[in-house]
Chains A and B, each alone.
Chain A
Amino acid sequence: MITVNHYMLLSAILFTIGTFGVLTRKNAIVLFMCIEVMLNSVNLTFIALSRHVGNMDGQIFVFFVMTVAAAEAAVGLALMIAFYRNKDSIDVDDFNMLKW
């Protein structure tokens, strides 16, 4: 019997993978994709729990997460393009203009 705990465990694993990617990868686009993985793992939790609790609100929240993700993708990728134009790179190591 697959319980909500199974889903949450899976979600935790995916989240960890995403986190690891965010912390270690240098390519900004891959980083971005890792964030999507994290978001999706959270979505999974939401839907699983929504099902478990028997309430629609969680799913609605997933919907909003998707909206935000879409907006983020649009703006984030635009930023990367702009950055690439200036620096000829999207390596996060080159994203260091905000240092002291």
Chain B
Amino acid sequence: MEAILFYLTATVAIISALFVIKCRNPVNSALNLITTFLCLAVFYIMLEAPFMAAIQIMVYAGAIMVLIVFVIMLLNLGLAVKSRYSHGLAGGGFLAALTLLVTVYFIKFGEATGTGGEITSEVISSYGHTELIGRAMFVDFLLPFEIASILLLVAIIGAVILSKREV
């Protein structure tokens, strides 16, 4: 059951990702990207990380994609781009294949070590994923969390200043 779900979702994710880079119209690309994101959210649930799945949908599929689509609409790009691909098609393909080769090799011959951490399925089900995340975030990683918030603030200011018509 799990395997079927995995392969199905994986197929959808890969195909929609391919469409992201294939579609002529950026709006279509964006919609395909949303599909990919949703598939990933499914995986997160399968990996017993429901909170991450929720965030994935909210932040990526919700916020970021809306932003992207907005921008596409705003600039009214449509089919303005003459050709989809730049001249590096062959080089890009080769390099991408090489990347795949290296990673696959890595996964095939490597071994994921370090099992046996304290967060097991039982722990997750007894505490709930959200609480675990929260505890990690606000106890161990408090300072980075605060720094991240400052980063976002800076990004907001940056975005406002950059898109202002006259500085």
Contact = CB atoms under 8 A, between A and B. Distances in A.
Interface of A: 1-2, 4-10, 12-21, 23-27, 29-30, 32-34, 36-37, 40, 43-44, 47-57, 59-60, 62-64, 66-75, 77-82, 84-85, 89-93
B43 A81 contact: no
A74 B148 contact: no
A26 B84 contact: yes
A20 B46 CA distance: 28
A56 B148 contact: no
Given A2-B2, A54-B116, A77-B67, A17 B43 contact: no
Given A20-B93, A59-B52, A60-B133, A14 B115 contact: no
Contacts of A25: 21, 84-86
Given A8-B103, A26-B85, A67-B151, 10 more contacts: A9-B104, A9-B107, A19-B99, A54-B119, A66-B59, A69-B64, A71-B152, A74-B158, A78-B162, A81-B75
Given A27-B26, A30-B26, A47-B52, A56 B119 contact: yes
Interface string B122-135: 00000000001101
Contacts of B143: none
A17 B14 contact: yes
Interface residues of B, number: 86
Contacts of B159: 74-75, 77-78
Contacts, number: 227
B86 A26 contact: yes
A35 B20 CA distance: 11
Pairs A-B, 10 closest by C-beta atoms: A54-B117, A23-B92, A71-B155, A21-B21, A20-B96, A78-B162, A12-B103, A78-B159, A24-B92, A74-B159
B6 to A, nearest CB: 5
